[in-house]
Structure 1
C-alpha cells in the first residue's frame, strides 16, 4: 500500500508539471483579410472596349474654307449644343498674328450706335486718327471696331488712347496661317440623324465644304503599358 501511495503521489506531481510546462497552448486561427488590389490607373483592354460600347455614338466632321477665324467661331456659336465638341483649327504653316482693338458688344444695337457716335465725337475733339465702325455680325456683334494691327505695340497704343477717353477698349489676338481655317466637330449620331437642319447653316457661307471623318477612339497612353 505504501508503494502504491508513493506511486500515485509521483504520478500527480508529474501530471501537474506537465500541465504547467509541457502543454502546448491552443492557437485560434484568424483568417487574414484579403489585400485590396492597388489602383494603378491601368484599364484592361476588355474593360476599355466595354466603355467604348457604352459611350454615345459620335459622328465627326471637318468643316473647312471659312473666310476668317471670326466666321468659324460664329459658326460654332450658331450650332450651339448640337455638337458635343467643336474647335477652330488652322492648317498650313503659322503666320504672325494680328491684333484687333475693339469695344465689347453692347446690349442692343441702339446702345451700340449711341456709343459709336459718342466715341467718334471724343476722338475728333482729341484730334486722334482712329478708325471706328459698328460690328454688325458674329461673336462681337454690337461691338465697335477700332482697327486691326500687325504689330502688338500699335494695338496697345490705340487701346491706351481710347482708354484715356473713358472707353473700355480691349485687344484680341487673331491667329493666322498659310492654310485653311477649319472647324472640327463631334456630333452625337442621334443628333446628326434626327436634326440634320444644322447642316443648313453652311448654306449661308459660300464655299464651305463638309467632310465626315473617323472619330478618334484610340486609348490614351496612360491606360495601357
Structure 2
C-alpha cells in the first residue's frame, strides 16, 4: 500500500514538472521559426507575402509599359526604300506598316497683343494699329482668338526687336513660342510584333540605309499609308 502511494506521488510530481516546463516556454518565439508540419517548410509571414505581391505587380506594370512601345525606323524620303524594310521584316515573320509621323523640327516666335473682349473691340484695335502703318491682323481662332498678330518670326532676336518696336508706340505685346513640325515617313512595328526582334537585328536590317535610324517610342496615332 505504501509503495502505491509513493508511486502516485512520483507520477504527480512528473506531471507537474512537465506542465511547468511547457508553460514557461518563451512566448516571443520568432515567427520565422514556425514550421508547417504538413510540408516541413517554414510558413511565410503575411508581410513577406505582401512584399512579394507588390514586387510581382511592379514587374508586371513595367512589362505592360514596355509592351506599349512601338519599334520605329526612319525617316524615309523614298517610300520604295521603306517598302524594302517592310519586306525584310515580313521575311522574319514581323508585320509592319508605313506611317506619316509629325516630328517637331524647330520653333517660331509669334508677337501678338492679348485678345480683346469681343470681335468688335479687336477690329477697333486693328484699325488703330493699321492707321500707324503697323502690319497686323485679327487672330480668328485658338486660345488667342480676337488677339492681334504682329508677326511670326523664325529668329528669336527678330521677334524681340519687333516687340520693342511696338512697345515704343505704347502697346504691350507678348511673344509666344510656337512649335513647328514636319511630316516624315516611318516604318512602324506594333508592340506585340516588336518583341520578336532585338536591337542587333534592327541594326543588321538597317545596314546600308543611309539616314535611317531605329528607336522605340509611343505608337504614333496615325493611319497606315498601306
Q: Tell me the TM-score range normalised by the shorter chain.
A: 0.3 to 0.5
TM-score (norm 1): 0.42
TM-score normalized with structure 2 length: 0.42
